[in-house]
């Protein structure tokens, strides 16, 4: 317990400091190459803002991860875990590149989705997948559903791409997506400490610290926004690491209910938006102002109240999800 707490504390301090300190460099890069998000009728911010702030999260994560490899010798842990983690890191890089291409060149939604599904399917094929689905039904009790291999990869791909884009959709007001991601990352880090999973502690503590350093400069008025590069990277890392670290080692299954609780905010927001667009016969891929934060703004909630409400809900839902998972043998 003490060693895991020590590792988490050091990583969080290092990552927070690094991510915070390189922010001005990232902002200068965005300004130099004119990677700017300009205000429009949908945007909450009122002045042009650099849109590649996620670069600070990405750089910090991999820099401190490399330090951890050399210091703790992650290759000394079981090979399956390190291979699976490597798959997540490679996939995270690819999702980051897809995102930054969109930030710079404005990719078409179909091209972006195709590339995301391609990478997600490859990562699933490499071992980051559901395996079995565990859930409970009235009158039937607990069920472990064994998925056919191809269907497993399809469902996993939809999970990864869906969660990634739902977190991207949360990034509609300053500090919302980053705040939710940081709450989830520190919650999962604490769960890994309780379970004694050192690799999980390292992964989530680095991720949390990298987000936290960015988050300090992301509250309104934002110094910069994370952009698609940041939301893609975070969404991919969170969706895939949940499949890796929360899977029951004995049954090779994941309780779908607990996953939904942990990701209920982005899942709920995405479902409401998609259903609303379909009912109004609108293009699902075209942005609008029907997200949760837009609805709260329409109810005359101020920025501080919106952040407080959504952070509070995220904290409570993730807390209950972590408590439930802590009772299981992961």
* Mean pLDDT (whole number) for 77-106: 88
Confidence of residue 88 (pLDDT cuts 50, 70, 90): very high
Q: What is the pLDDT of residue 138?
A: 74
Boundaries of domain holding 319: 2-326
Mean pLDDT, the chain, as a whole number? 91
Q: How many structural domains compose the chain?
A: 1
Q: What is the pLDDT of residue 1?
A: 53
* Residue 2, pLDDT above cutoff 60: no
CA distances from 98 to 25, 95, 199, 307 (A): 22, 5, 27, 28
Per-residue pLDDT tens over the stretch 26-39: 999 999 999 998 87
CA 326 – CA 83 distance, rounded (Å): 25
Residue 282: phi and psi, rounded to 5, are -105, 155
Per-residue pLDDT tens over the stretch 261-289: 999 999 999 999 999 999 988 888 888 88
Residue 143 or 315, more confident: 315
Lowest mean pLDDT among 74-78, 176-180, 307-311: 74-78
Q: What is the pLDDT of residue 73?
A: 67
Q: What is the DSSP string of 192-203?
A: HHHHT-HHHHHH
User: What's the predicted TM-score (pTM) here?
Assistant: 0.94
* Residue 149, pLDDT above cutoff 70: yes
């Amino acid at each position: 317990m003490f060693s895991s707490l020590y590792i988490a504390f050091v990583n969080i301090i290092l990552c927070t400091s690094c991510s915070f300190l390189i922010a001005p460099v990232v902002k200068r890069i965005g300004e130099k190459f004119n990677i700017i998000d300009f205000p429009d009728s949908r945007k909450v911010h009122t002045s042009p803002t650099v849109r590649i702030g996620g670069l600070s999260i990405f750089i910090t994560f991999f820099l401190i991860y490399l330090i951890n490899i050399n210091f703790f010798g992650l290759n000394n842990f079981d090979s399956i875990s390190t291979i699976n983690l490597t798959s997540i890191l490679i996939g995270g890089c690819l999702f980051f590149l897809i995102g930054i291409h969109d930030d710079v060149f404005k990719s078409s939604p179909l091209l972006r989705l195709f590339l995301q599904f391609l990478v997600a399917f490859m990562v699933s094929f490499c071992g980051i997948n559901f395996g079995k689905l565990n859930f409970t039904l009235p009158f039937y009790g607990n069920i472990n559903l064994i998925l056919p291999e191809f269907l497993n990869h399809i469902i996993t791909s939809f999970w990864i791409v869906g969660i990634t884009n739902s977190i991207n959709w949360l990034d509609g007001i300053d500090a919302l997506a980053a705040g939710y991601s940081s709450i989830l990352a520190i919650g999962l880090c604490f769960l890994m400490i309780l379970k004694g999973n050192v690799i999980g502690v390292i992964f989530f503590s680095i991720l949390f610290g990298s987000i936290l350093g960015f988050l300090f400069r992301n509250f309104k008025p934002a110094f910069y926004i994370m952009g698609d590069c940041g939301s893609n990277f975070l969404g991919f890392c969170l969706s895939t690491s949940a499949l890796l670290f929360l899977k029951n080692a004995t049954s090779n299954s994941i309780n779908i209910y607990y996953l939904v609780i942990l990701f209920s905010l982005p899942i709920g927001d995405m479902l409401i938006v998609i259903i609303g667009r379909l009912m109004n016969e609108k293009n699902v891929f075209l942005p609008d102002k029907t997200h949760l934060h837009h609805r709260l703004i329409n109810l005359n909630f101020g920025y501080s109240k919106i952040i407080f409400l959504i952070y509070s809900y995220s904290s409570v839902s993730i807390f209950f999800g972590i408590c439930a998972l802590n009772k299981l043998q992961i």
